[in-house]
Every structure is written in C-alpha cells, then in structure tokens.
C-alpha cells in the first residue's frame, strides 16, 4: 500500500480507502479545515479572534491553523486558557499551552476559577455532590465567553471535533435536551444577547483520530494526559460506543453530524421562541436563561454552605 498521490509510505488511510503519506495527509487536513472556515464564513476582515486553548491536541491544532490563516488575513489572534484547578492534569496542559504560544508568539491569557470565583474545581467537588463535568463545563464556558469579550474578541474559536459534536448530539438526544442542540453547529447562530461572543469550530468535520495524527505529525508539545474526572463520564462512554460503531459501520459519526446539520436551521427557528429568550444575570450581568446565570447559581451554593 502506498500514498495515492506520490506512491511513498502512507501514514493514514482515508474513509474512501485512499492511503496518504505524511505530506499529503497534512495537506488533506489543512485543506479540509480551510474549507470549513470559508464555507461557514467563520472569519471576516475586522474580526478579532480569541482561541480557547486547553493545551490538548484539539485546541492546539485549532489555534495553529487559525493563526496561520489569520496572519494572511490580518486578523489579530489571542489565546485564552482556563485553569479550573484540577490536580494531576491542568498544570501539565497549561505548561504545554504556554510552550506552544511561546513558540508561535501568540499572546496567552490564563484565567483561573480560583481567582475569578474563589474556588478550584477540585475543592468545589469535595464540598458539593455534582457531576464534575457539569460544574466544570458551566464555569469554563462562562469564563471563555467573558474572557474572550474582555480581550476584545468578535469571535471565539474552540477545538471541538467531529467526535465531540456527535457525542454531544447523542447526549442531548438521550437526555431529552434537544433545545441544547439548537446551540450547536460549526458556528453558533446570531445569539440574542450582546454579551455573547460568536463561537466557531474549525475542526468540526475532522475526527478525533485525524486531529491526534495531525498534532503528532506537527510535533506539537502535547502530553496527552487525561482529566481524572473523564473516567466513567457519560461522554466518554458514548465516545467508546461511537468508536465501536464507526469501526463496524464506517461513516457513523459523519452521518450523525450531517443529519443534524440538515435539521439545524429548523431547530434554531423553533427554539428562538420566548422559551429560550436569553436575559441578563442579576448578579454578574452575563447572559442568563433565568434570573441568575448558572455560574452564579454554583457560587450561591458555596455561600449557602459557608453560612
Ligand atoms: S473531563 Fe470533565 S472535569 Fe475534566 S476538563 Fe473535561 S469537562 Fe472538565
Ligand atoms: Zn504522498
Ligand atoms: Zn451570573
């Protein structure tokens, strides 16, 4: 078996069974990401981009490609990392993020739960019975939006890949949270709150395996550590199921995401109604579906506990 383009040793076989060598794999990957950015008009002149950087393979690959693209388009790029305070995990990924940003001369801002909220995720979970990923996700999304806006962003990029999206879609489906899927897609819709920064996901059509290979071939400083809270998480289990299906029935993940994209316009229309109207948190002024945003609700639980 040799690369279909140059007959040298392949590093990857595409879903259509075409083998690709390193050089042609990198080219395939970059071309597909570029097409996603252009097709969805993710960035335009005048934008200021903040890319969320966890220090993992996805966010590093995303930032690398966006940095290259934005340099040509004259769009400023900054990186934003969130330190949730997760022992034996975040310290290393933040180190990797800093190494990466230093190499490519990208300004990096780190916001921590401890400094912004007065707790680390680990300490919060010691005192409150809650799904770690729910508490983490709510507060991280909050800080990414707020941090990006304060850095002057008009767009915020995340490294979500095809696997992430397929998993989230199934999770919403299984839990009966279909309204949450209306907020997904390669680029969030025009949101109904001025404090929201529009999100873009340039790696939307790339599988996790493809992103991992790209990061390895480019020799990004990724340590590939797993968050200790991921073990046993619903998402991880769904990911394993999807991988099994993908192996048995190639194209499963792509099929889930493609079907979703077909119904996304009508989903967005349906959930534009008053039910989903976004207000302003009475405590912090950030967007909120209720009187208080979900992060302020978490903070309130801490105050009540301390009394
Ligand atoms: S696995 Fe869960 S707790 Fe760990 S970083 Fe991801 S969302 Fe946060
Ligand atoms: Zn080749
Ligand atoms: Zn709030």
Least confidently predicted of 143-157, 199-213, 221-235: 221-235
The residue ranking higher by pLDDT, 5 or 289, is 5
Does any ligand 1 atom lie closer than 6 A to the CB of residue 132?
A: yes
How many Å lie between the centroid of ligand 1 and the Cα of residue 233?
Answer: 9
Say how far apart CA 260 and CA 39 lie, in whole Å.
17
Q: Is 189 in the pocket of ligand 1 (CB under 6 A)?
A: no
Is 109 part of a structural domain of the chain? yes
Asked which of 126-130, 163-167, 174-178 is least confident by mean pLDDT, the reply is 126-130
> Residue 127: which domain range?
22-274
29 lies in some domain: yes
Instruction: Examine residue 269 and state whether it is found in any structural domain, yes or no.
Output: yes
Tell me if 230 CB under 6 Å of ligand 1.
yes
Q: Which atom of ligand 1 is nearest to the CA of 90?
A: 5
> Is residue 41 assigned to a domain?
yes
Ligand having the closest approach to the CA of 232: 1
Is residue 169 domain-resident? Answer: yes
Q: In percent, how much of the chain has pLDDT > 70? A: 96
For residue 9, tell me if it sits in a domain: no
Q: Which amino acid residue places its CA nearest to atom 5 of ligand 1?
A: 227
Q: Is position 187 within any domain?
A: yes
Please give the distance, rounded to the nearest whole angstrom, from the Cα atom of residue 194 to the centre of ligand 3: 15
17-21, 54-58, 245-249, 270-274: the lowest-pLDDT one: 270-274
pLDDT at 193: 81
Quick one: pLDDT at residue 252? 97
Please work out whether the CB of residue 148 comes within 6 Å of at least one atom of ligand 1. Answer: no
- Cβ–ligand 1 contact at 139 (below 6 Å): no
The pLDDT of residue 127 is 86
Residues 29 and 214: beta-carbon distance below 8 Å: yes
Question: Atom of ligand 1 at shortest distance to CA of 136?
Answer: 8
Q: Longest C-alpha distance within the chain, in Å?
A: 70
For 44-97, the pLDDT digits (tens) are 999 999 999 999 999 999 999 999 999 999 999 999 999 999 999 999 999 999
**Rounded to whole angstroms, how far apart are CA atoms 112 and 81?**
8
CB-based contact 4:20 (threshold 8 Å): yes
CATH at 56? 3.40.50.620
Return the residue whose CA atom lies nearest to atom 7 of ligand 1.
Answer: 133
pLDDT at 258 over 80: yes
Res 277: pLDDT: 59
Ligand 1 pocket test: pick from 143, 229, 235, 238 the residue with the most ligand atoms within 8 Å of its Cβ.
229
CA neighbor of 58 nearest in space, from 169, 250, 166, 207: 207
Q: Which residues surround ligand 2, an ion (CB under 5 A)?
A: 3, 5-6, 21, 24
Domain assignment of residue 240, yes or no: yes
CA-nearest residue, atom 2 of ligand 1: 133
* The total number of structural domains that make up the chain: 1
Q: Is 236 in the pocket of ligand 1 (CB under 6 A)?
A: no
Q: Is the pLDDT of residue 18 over 70?
A: yes
Instruction: Round the average pLDDT of the chain to a whole number and report it.
Output: 93
pLDDT over 70 at 306, yes or no:
no
DSSP string, the chain: ---TTT-S--SEE-TTS-EE-HHHHHHHHHHHHHHHHHHTT---TT--EEEE--SSHHHHHHHHHHHHHHHHHT--EEEEEEE---TTTHHHHHHHHHHHHHHHT--EEEEEHHHHHS--HHHHHHHS---HHHHHHHHHHHHHHHHHHHTT-SEEE----HHHHHHHHHHHHHTT-HHHHTT-SSB----S-TTPPEEE-TTTTS-HHHHHHHHHHTT-----PPPGGGTT-HHHHHHHHHHHHHHHSTTHHHHHHHHHHHHHHHHHHHTTSGGG--EE-TTT-SEESSSS-HHHHHHHHHHHHH-
**Residue 226 near ligand 1, beta carbon < 6 Å:** no
Residue pair 289/142 in contact by the 8 Å Cβ criterion: no
86 alpha carbon to ligand 1 midpoint, in Å?
9
Contacts of residue 151, Cβ cutoff 8 Å, sequence gap at least 6: 48, 50, 78, 80, 109
Closest CA to 289 of 187, 161, 191: 191
Segment 84-135, tens digit of pLDDT: 999 999 999 999 999 999 999 999 999 999 999 999 999 999 988 888 999 9
Does the pTM surpass 0.85? The reply is yes
What ligand is nearest to the CA atom of residue 300? Answer: 3
CB 27 within 8 A of CB 13: no
**What is the Å distance from ligand 3's center to 116 Cα?**
12
Contact predicate 245/91, CB 8 Å? no
User: What's the 178 CA to ligand 3 centre distance in angstroms?
Assistant: 24
Quote the pLDDT of residue 274: 46
Beta-carbon neighbour count of residue 193 at 10 Å? 13
The pLDDT of residue 307 is above 60: no
């Amino acid at each position: 078996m040799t690369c279909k383009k140059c007959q040298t040793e392949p590093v990857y076989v595409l879903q259509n069974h075409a083998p690709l060598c390193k050089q042609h794999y990198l080219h395939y990957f970059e071309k597909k990401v570029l097409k996603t950015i252009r097709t969805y008009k993710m960035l335009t002149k005048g934008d200021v981009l903040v890319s969320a950087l966890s220090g993992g393979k996805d966010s590093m690959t995303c930032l690398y490609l966006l940095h290259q693209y934005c340099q040509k388009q004259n769009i400023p790029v900054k990186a934003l990392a969130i330190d949730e305070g997760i022992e034996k995990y975040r310290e290393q990924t933040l180190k990797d993020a800093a190494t990466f940003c230093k190499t490519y001369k990208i300004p990096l801002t780190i916001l921590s739960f401890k400094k912004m909220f007065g707790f680390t995720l680990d300490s919060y979970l010691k005192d409150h019975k809650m799904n770690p990923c729910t508490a983490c996700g709510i507060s991280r999304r909050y800080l990414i939006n707020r941090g990006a806006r304060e850095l002057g962003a008009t767009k915020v990029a995340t490294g979500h890949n095809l696997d992430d999206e397929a998993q989230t879609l199934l999770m919403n489906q299984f839990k009966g949270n279909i309204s949450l899927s209306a907020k997904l897609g390669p680029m969030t819709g025009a949101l109904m709150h001025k404090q929201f920064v529009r999100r873009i996901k340039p790696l939307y059509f790339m599988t996790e395996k493809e992103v991992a290979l790209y990061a390895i071939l480019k020799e990004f400083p990724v340590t590939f550590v797993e968050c200790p809270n991921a073990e046993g998480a619903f998402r991880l289990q769904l990911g394993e199921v999807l991988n099994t299906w993908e192996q048995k029935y190639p194209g499963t993940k792509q099929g889930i995401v493609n079907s979703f994209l077909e119904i996304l316009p009508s989903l967005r229309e349906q959930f534009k109604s008053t039910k989903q109207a976004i207000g302003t948190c009475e405590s912090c002024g950030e967007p909120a579906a209720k009187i208080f945003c979900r992060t302020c609700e978490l903070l309130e639980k801490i105050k009540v506990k301390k009394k």
